[in-house]
Amino acid sequence: MRDAKGFLSDAPCRATVARRNIPTSMKTFTLADANRTLPLVSRIVRDLVARYPRWRELVAEYELMTASERADAPDPRATDLERQVAALAREIDGYIHELAELGAEARNPLDSGLVDFPGTHDGRPIFLCWRLGEQTIEHWHERDGGFAGRQPIDTLVFADR
């Protein structure tokens, strides 16, 4: 769980609860609201980006190990590796849930550090798009546009800017 400043604490993370506890209604952000969440979002995404590659490595190692093991002689390391994979998956899922609780959405691949904030402009739904390392939200795209459709935020005029 993160404390008020967004740092990990020893308490169990609320985000590790079942998916049914993720808000089902989509929050809509103004540009100012989304930018205000960036200090916390940035910490969560940094943690996510740091852990995701290790999870992928462990999954690949596990798959390689289990693909080559014989049914009559399973590799005892496989069980330990499976536990490590599951633990990292829970941790990563927790980060994704934390973002969802804030109303933001992590995008694939998870190690890209890309996050979308649902918003509207002139009555149409858009995503305010942020990437790890950016100081503020500098891009937006249509809901069906994805990363390839990113455009500079300056192409929109916001009343709350």
Q: Averaged in consecutive runs of 10 residues, what is the pLDDT profile of the chain (161 residues)?
A: 41 34 68 97 98 96 83 79 96 97 95 96 95 97 92 80 49
Output the CA torsion 118→134→5→24 (10° steps).
Answer: 20
Does 22 map to a domain? no
For residue 132, CA distances in Å to 33, 70, 90, 139 come to 17, 43, 22, 12
**114: containing domain:** 27-155
Indicate the SS3 state at residue 146.
Answer: coil
Instruction: Report if residue 74 sits inside a domain.
Output: yes
pLDDT of residue 71: 65
* Number of compact structural domains in the chain: 1
Is 58 among the domain residues? yes
In a domain, 7, yes or no: no
According to DSSP, the residues that pair with 128 across neighbouring strands are 117, 140
Please report, for residues 75, 90, 157, the alpha-carbon distance to residue 100 in angstroms, rounded to integers and kept in the order given.
Answer: 38, 15, 26
Task: Give a yes or no: residue 8 inside a domain.
Answer: no
Going from the C-alpha of 159 to that of each of 120, 122, 134, the distances in angstroms are 12, 10, 22
19 alpha-carbon distance from chain centroid: 14
